[in-house]
Amino acid sequence: MVEYKVKVTTGDALFSGSSDYIYVTLIGTEGKSERTNLDNYGLDFMTRMTGTYTVTNPSSLGRLLLVKLEKEQYLFLPENEWFCSKVIVTTPEGDVILFPCYRWVSRGEVVELRGGKARKIFEDELPLLVDHRKKELAIHKKLFQWIVYAEGVPHINNATELSAVPSEVQFSFSKMSEFIYTKAAAIAELKLKCLVDSTEQWKDLNDLKTVFWNNRTPISEYVSEHWKEDDFFGSQFLNGTNPNVIQRCTALPSNFPVTDKMVQPFLKDGSSLATEMKHELLLNYPQGTDEGNIFLCDYKRLEGVPTRVVNGKPLSLTAALCLFYKNPEDKLLPIAIQLEQQPSQQNPIFLPSDSKHDWLLAKIYVRNADFSEFQISYHLLGTHLLAEAFTMATFRSLPVMHPLHKLLIPHFRYTLQINLLARKRLISPDGPLANGAMGLEGLKELLKRAHSEITYSSLCLPENIVARGLESIPNFYYREDGLKLWNIINSFVQGMVEHFYSSDSEVSRDSELQDWINEIFIHGFLGNKKSGIPKRFNKVKEVVKFITMIIFTVSAQHCALNMGQFDYGGWVPNNPLLLRKAPPTTKGRSSMNTILEVLPNIGTTVNNMASTWLLSKRYSDTIPLGTYPDQHFDEAVPMQMIKQFQAQLSYLSQSIIKRNATLTLPYNYLNPAEMENSVSI
C-alpha cells in the first residue's frame, strides 16, 4: 500500500465551513484511488481550518492529475455550502502538488480540481486533461451567458437576480452585510431628519453641512469651503473624480468664439490667447518645448441627449465648453464658459469678470456636465462594463489551468455582482442615476455615444496622456501616479507573460487565448475595428500590452474614478446630479436664490449624498492591488515575480504618502495600498 497526504483548506470568510461529509478521489495516469471519506477526530472543515488526511492505494497512481471532491449530507442537518480554498497533495514519490479550488461546493456536487503548473492547451497531451479543459469551459459557457443590455453598449452577463450568479463570484457574507448596513444607516439618518423624501428647495447651502452627523471626509469638508474658488474649480479637472476630459487647446473650436478682449484681463500682462496656445521654443531649456498654457473641456457628447421630463418640462443637460489658463503660478484657472455648443446671443460666454453669481452659476452647469460624463462615459462604461466583458470572456474562454486565467482572476473579484446590483439599484428606472438629468433613455444614449468613441489607445494611459497633450502640465497627480503605476503593472505582466509564452508562435498556437480576445472584441467592443482593439494576438508584446490595460483599468482607473465620489460629490453643489432649470441666456440676473432654485431639491440631494458615500466607502474585506490571498500559482518564478510586484507597489505607495504630506489637498486615489484589485464597488 502507498499513502498520499491530502491537506484540505477551508476558506476564511464567514460561514465557509460545513458539517457535511467530504469525500475525495485521487486520479492519476495509472488509475484512481478509492473514494475516501475525509474524517479526523473532532471537527473537520470549519472556517479557516486546514485538515491533513491520508488516502491509501495498493500502488502508485503515477502522475497525479485530478482531485475529485464530493459533499454529502451528515445526519439530518440542513444544507450548508462549503468553501474549499485549496487541496495540497503529497505523493509517495515526494511531489507536493497544489490543486486550487476557491469555490463553494454544494451537496451532491462533484468538483474535479486540476493541479500542477499552469499549462496552455497545446501543452496538454493526455486525453483526460484535454477533455477536462473542454468540459470546464462548456460548464462555464452555460453559467456565464452574454445578453444585450442596450444597443451599442458592451454585452453583459444574463443573470438578473443574485441567485443566478455562481456563489464563488458573489460578495462574501461580511461584504454584503457591511454593504447593506452602510446603506441602511445612511438612509435611516436621513429619514430621522425628515430629509429623504423632501421635495423642498434648500433655503441656505450651509444646511448641507448638517445632512450627516458622521459621514464626512477631510476632502469633502475642504470642498464645502472652497468650491466657489476658481483655482479649486480648475484643480478638479486634473485630480478630482474625472481627470479624463481636459486636454491641451492649441486652437479654439469654431463654435467657441472666445476673443482676446474677453480673456486678456486673466492672462499674464501683454499676452494673448494665440501666444498662450502656441508651442514656443524655450531657449533656456534645450531639452524641450513649452506646449502652451490653454486647456479645454468640451462636453459636446452631451448635446441632444434626451433628459427626464419633470412637471411637463425636460431637465437641462448642457453640452458646455470651458476654457482654462495655466497661469505663471501653475494654477489652472477657468477663463471662459459657454453652456451650449452653438454660439448665439442667448448663449453668452461667461467670464470671471461677470457678477459672482453669474460666474458661479456657469461653473455649476459645467460641473453638472462633468458629473454626467464622468458617471456614465468613464465610470460606468469605461470601468464597470468593460470589466464585466473582460470577466465574462475569461470565465468562458480560459480554463483555470490557463496561465492568464490564474493571472487575471484575482482582478475580477465581485465584478459580476456589483454590476448586477448597479443595474438593479443605481441605473434601474427608479435608481439614482436614472433619476438624474438624463433618465434611463438618456443614460443608454450617452453610453452608446461614448462606446462608439472608445479606442484602445484611450484605454492605455501613456497614449491617452500624450493624445490629450498633458505630458507637462504641473500638479497633475493622476498622471504622475498613474504612469508610474502603469509601468509597474506592465513590468509585472511582461515578466509573467514572457515566462509562459517563450515565442510569438506560442501565442498564435494558443486557441483558448485567441477565443478569449475574440470574445472581448465581439462582446466588449461590438466588433468595432475602428476601436483598435485586437481580435487576435500574433505577438507576445501584444498580449503584454492588453493584459496591462485590463489590470490598470479594473484597479487603478476604477479607483481613480470611484473612490473620490463622496470627497468631491458629497458637497452636491460641486457635483450636482441634476439641475432643475435651464441655463441662463443673459447675464446680470443671477442671485444666490437663483442658484438655490437651480440645484436639486432636498430629497434628491441627500439621496445622492448617501449613494456616493456607499460607493466611496472602503470595505473591510478589500484586497489591495498586488495582494493575492488565493494561491493560484505554485511555480517558483511566478511567485517571485509577485513578490517583486508587491515591493514596487509598496515603494510607490510610500512615495505617494510622502508627497501627499506636503499637499493642502492630497491625492490618494492611485495609492496602491488603498486600491482594490478589482471593480468590486
Among the ranges given (114-123, 271-280, 558-567), the one the predictor scored with the smallest mean pLDDT: 271-280
The pLDDT, as a whole number, for residue 327 is 96
Q: Are residues 19 and 163 in the same domain?
A: no
Largest CA distance in the chain: 95
In a domain, 310, yes or no: no
Residue 15 lies in a domain: yes
Q: Are residues 167 and 98 in the same domain?
A: no
Q: Residue 350 falls within a domain, yes or no? A: no
Q: What is the pLDDT of residue 147?
A: 97
Q: Choose the weakest-confidence range: 206-210, 312-316, 537-541, 558-562.
A: 206-210
pLDDT of residue 198: 86
Please say if the pLDDT value at position 285 is more than 60.
no
Query: In CATH, what number is assigned to the domain containing residue 383?
Result: 1.20.245.10
Per the CB < 8 A criterion, the answer to whether 215 and 188 are in contact is no
Looking at the fold, whether 43 and 168 belong to one and the same domain comes out as no
Residue 284: count other Cβ atoms within 10 Å of its Cβ: 5
Q: What is the pLDDT of residues 407-436, one digit of tens each?
A: 999 999 999 999 999 998 888 888 777 778
Please give the pLDDT value at position 196: 80
339 lies in some domain: no
> What average pLDDT score do residues 319-345 get?
97
Domain containing 52 equals 2-115
Higher pLDDT, 492 or 181: 492
> Which run of H or E residues covers position 641?
helix 636-660
Nearest residue to 227 (alpha-carbon basis) of 567, 479, 610, 613: 567
Nearest-angstrom CA–CA distance, 297 and 249 = 9
Position 186 scores a pLDDT of 75
Q: Kindly give, in sequence order, each residue whose CB lies less than 8 Å from that of residue 308, ignoring residues fewer than 6 positions away.
A: 314, 315, 435, 436, 437, 438, 439, 442, 578
Q: H helices then E strands: how many in the chain?
A: 22, 20
Residue 181 has pLDDT above 60, yes or no: yes
Whole-number percent of the chain with pLDDT over 90: 80
Q: What are the distances in angstroms from CA 592 to CA 179, 359, 369, 465, 598?
A: 37, 11, 20, 38, 10
Claim to verify: residue 401 and residue 459 sit in the same structural domain: yes
Confidence of residue 336 (pLDDT cuts 50, 70, 90): very high
17 is in an annotated binding site: yes
pLDDT digits (tens, 9 = 90+) for 585-615: 999 999 999 999 999 998 888 888 888 888 8
* pLDDT recorded at residue 357: 97
Residue 681 scores a pLDDT above 90: no
User: Are 28 and 157 in a shared domain?
Assistant: no
Residues 105-116: pLDDT tens digits?
999 889 999 998
What CA–CA distances, in Å, run from 225 to 55, 79, 199?
68, 55, 25
Put residue 644 in one of left, alpha, beta given phi > 0 → left and psi -120 to 50 → alpha: alpha
- C-beta separation of 344 from 328 below 8 A: no
* 131 belongs to a structural domain: no
Q: Give me the pLDDT at residue 611, please.
A: 86
Residue 280 — pLDDT band, cuts 50, 70, 90?
Answer: very low
Are residues 632 and 500 part of one domain? yes
Shared-domain flag, residues 396 and 519:
yes
Residue 279 confidence (pLDDT)? 52
The total of other beta-carbon atoms located within 10 Å of residue 564's CB is: 25
Specify the residue for cell string 478630482.
240
SS3 238: helix
Which position has the higher pLDDT, 205 or 173? Answer: 205
Is residue 96 in some structural domain? yes
Which whole-number Å values give the CA distances from 656 to 473, 626, 666, in the listed order? 18, 17, 9
Instruction: Report the distance separating Cα 463 and Cα 449, nearest Å.
Output: 21
On average, the pLDDT of the chain sits at 93
Buried-state track 568-600, b at ≥16 Cβ within 10 A, e below 16: bbbbbbbbbbbbbeebbeeeeebeeebbbebbb
Strand order of the sheet with strand 50-57? 50-57, 2-10, 82-90, 96-105
Q: How many Å apart are CA 199 and CA 310, to the nearest integer?
A: 13
Residue 379 annotated as lining a ligand binding site: yes
At 25, which CATH number? 2.60.60.20
Distance between CA 218 and CA 206 in Å, rounded?
A: 17
What is the DSSP code (8-state) at residue 81? -
Are residue 66 and residue 155 in the same domain, yes or no?
A: no
- Residue 654: predicted pLDDT: 98
Which DSSP string do the residues of 437-488 spell out, in sequence order?
SSHHHHHHHHHHHHHHH--HHHHSHHHHHHHTT-SS-TT-HHHHHHHHHHHH
**577, three cell numbers:** 446630479
Asked if pLDDT for residue 349 goes beyond 50, the answer is: yes
Task: Give me the half-sphere count of Cα atoms (radius 13 Å) on the Cβ side of residue 140.
Answer: 18
520 and 566 fall within a common domain: yes
- Read off the pLDDT of each residue in 476-491 and give the average, rounded to a whole number: 98
pLDDT of 433-459, one tens digit each? 777 889 899 999 999 999 999 999 999
Model pLDDT, residue 213 = 67
The answer to the question of residue 57 being in a domain is yes
Q: Which of 43-52, 189-198, 567-576 shows the lowest per-residue confidence on average (mean pLDDT)? A: 189-198
Question: What's the DSSP call for residue 75?
Answer: T
**155 and 106 within one domain:** no
Task: Inform me whether the pLDDT recorded for 188 exceeds 90.
Answer: no
Q: Which residues contact 94 (CB under 8 A, 6 or more apart)?
A: none
Task: For residue 268, give the C-alpha cell.
Answer: 499674464
Of 257, 472, 458, 283, which Cα lies nearest the Cα of 377?
458
Report the C-alpha gap between 248 and 294 in whole angstroms.
Answer: 6
Tell me: pLDDT of 281 over 60.
no
Residue 469 and residue 247 in contact, taking contact as beta carbons nearer than 8 Å: yes
Is residue 523 a contact partner of residue 393, using CB atoms and an 8 Å limit? yes
* Predicted confidence (pLDDT) at residue 532 exceeds the cutoff of 90: yes
Which of 63-67, 152-156, 195-199, 584-588 comes out lowest in average pLDDT? 195-199
Contact 426, 408 (CB under 8 A): no
Are the C-beta atoms of residues 302 and 319 closer than 8 Å to each other? yes
Model confidence at 93: pLDDT above 70: yes
Question: Virtual CA dihedral for 350, 352, 353, 356, nearest 10 degrees?
Answer: 90
Span 56-82, pLDDT tens digits: 999 999 999 999 999 998 887 788 899
Pairing of the two strands 247-248 and 280-281: unpaired
Within a domain: 80? yes
Task: Tell me: is residue 39 an annotated ligand-binding position.
Answer: yes
What pTM was computed for the model? 0.94
What confidence category does residue 232 fall into, taking pLDDT thresholds of 50, 70 and 90?
very high
Tell me if 459 sits within 8 A of 389, measured CB to CB.
Answer: no
681 carries a ligand binding annotation = yes
As for how many domains the chain has, the answer is: 2
Higher pLDDT, 193 or 539: 539
550 labeled binding residue: no
Judgement on whether residues 22 and 160 belong to the same structural domain of the protein: no
Q: Does 502 share its domain with 649?
A: yes
Q: How many Cα atoms within 13 Å fall on the side-chain side of residue 553?
A: 29
